[in-house]
Amino acid sequence: MYIVETYSVAVILTVITMLCWGSWANTQKLAAKTWRFELFYWDYVLGILLFSVILGFTLGSTGEKGMGFVENLRQAEWSSITGALIGGVVFNLANILVAAAIAIAGMAVAFPVGIGIALVLGVIVNYIATPQGNASLLFTGVALIAVAIILDAIAYRKKAAQAKKVPTKGIVLSVVGGVLMALFYRFVASSMVTNFEQPEAGLLTPYTAVFIFAIGILISNFLFNTILMKRPFEGTPVTYSQYFKGNFKEHFTGILGGMIWCIGMSLSIIAAGKAGFAISYSLGQGATLIAALWGVFIWKEFKNPPKGVNALLTLMFLLFVGGLGLIILAGS
């Protein structure tokens, strides 16, 4: 299987993770013109599973080091498989709750609360489990990114035409979704080998872990997304018959979104062998910066902004870049 040999390569992979995690939602935005989120989400999940299989039989089955994808899958113990499955279930629930929170409370509240909690708590959890890297630089970088996310929220609120009372339900969903989003990565990491070149018996390689993780997402989706389809947070209920009536473009857009997200997840897990799980996770969560760049420059979400918004956005980007730089230095 392919194994990262140097820290610099690991950083490059986590930057790609950041790009993927910050960009996949563009497919949802494109599909939203004709395709409900609940229907899009089925294809998104299938895209995650599809790419995990492709990766397993390509990078996961090449090279002389480590253990091949199929061989590792055959020797995996149920305790390891369960850990990765739970990671998939937790991620899926978190992802749906954050999406629901955005629908109820708006981007300005749900995104910084949910992703902010996921970033800070996720780094703490993963660093405690595997303390790798300079803690002072790492947590200072995380603090700068957290402030940047808050500034992003303030900019969104200023852009809103009228201030509206934020529903308590939206805030609660954001908090719960953020906590779960912070925990899913640790479940997957705990199922994995600690030595990629000489894998311990019974544990999963990164490629097998991502595949089992994807199965956990798919299985749980039959419960979570079915409930969401019958009782959507916005709009009228949708049915499975509507899903099967979708055209190729609508289905392909969702599958592409899932594949893009899974590329990021896979590279993050692969890079963790050299960078450590805390650093790999925190750099990936720099996706917020990428999403903001898409929103500002491509989707023109801040066209003709009120006074002070441009200054907030500039400071946000500077803090993000500074925070990411410190996180990179923390592991060097």
Rounded CA gap, 332 and 8, in Å? 8
Q: What is the pLDDT of residue 162?
A: 47
Is there a domain that residue 59 lies in?
Answer: yes
Q: Is residue 22 part of a domain?
A: yes
Region of poorest pLDDT, from 12-21, 44-53, 93-102, 217-226: 93-102
Q: Could you tell me the CA-to-CA distances from 86 to 191, 208, 288 in Å, in that order?
A: 10, 14, 25
Q: Could you tell me the two tokens for 297?
A: 């420059």
Q: What's the 3-state SS for the chain?
A: CCCCCCHHHHHHHHHHHHHHHHHCHHHHHHHCCCCCHHHHHHHHHHHHHHHHHHHHHCHHHCCCCCCCHHHHHHHCCHHHHHHHHHHHHHHHHHHHHHHHHHHHHCHHHHHHHHHHHHHHHHHHHHHHHCCCCCHHHHHHHHHHHHHHHHHHHHHHHHHCCCCCCCCHHHHHHHHHHHHHHHHHHHHHHHCECCCCCCCCCCCECHHHHHHHHHHHHHHHHHHHHHHHHHCCCCCCCCCHHHHHCCCHHHHHHHHHHHHHHHHHHHHHHHHHHHHCHHHHHHHHCCHHHHHHHHHHHHCCCCCCCCCCHHHHHHHHHHHHHHHHHHHHHHHC
Assign 279 a pLDDT band (cuts: 50, 70, 90).
very high
Residue 310 included in any domain: yes
Instruction: Determine, yes or no, domain membership for 74.
Output: yes
- Look over the chain and give the mean of its residue pLDDT values, rounded to a whole number: 90
Does residue 213 lie within any of the structural domains? yes
Residue 2 lies in a domain: no
Does 1 fall in a domain? no
For 323, the domain range is 7-331
* pLDDT for the residue 165: 59
Our count of domains for the chain comes to 1
pLDDT on residue 106:
62
Question: What pLDDT score does 146 carry?
Answer: 87
Q: What is the pLDDT of residues 203-253, one digit of tens each?
A: 999 999 999 999 999 999 999 999 999 998 878 999 999 999 999 999 999
pLDDT digits (tens, 9 = 90+) for 32-78: 888 998 999 999 999 999 999 999 999 999 988 999 999 999 999 99
122 located within any domain: yes
Ranking 27-31, 256-260, 266-270, 293-297 by mean pLDDT, the lowest is 293-297
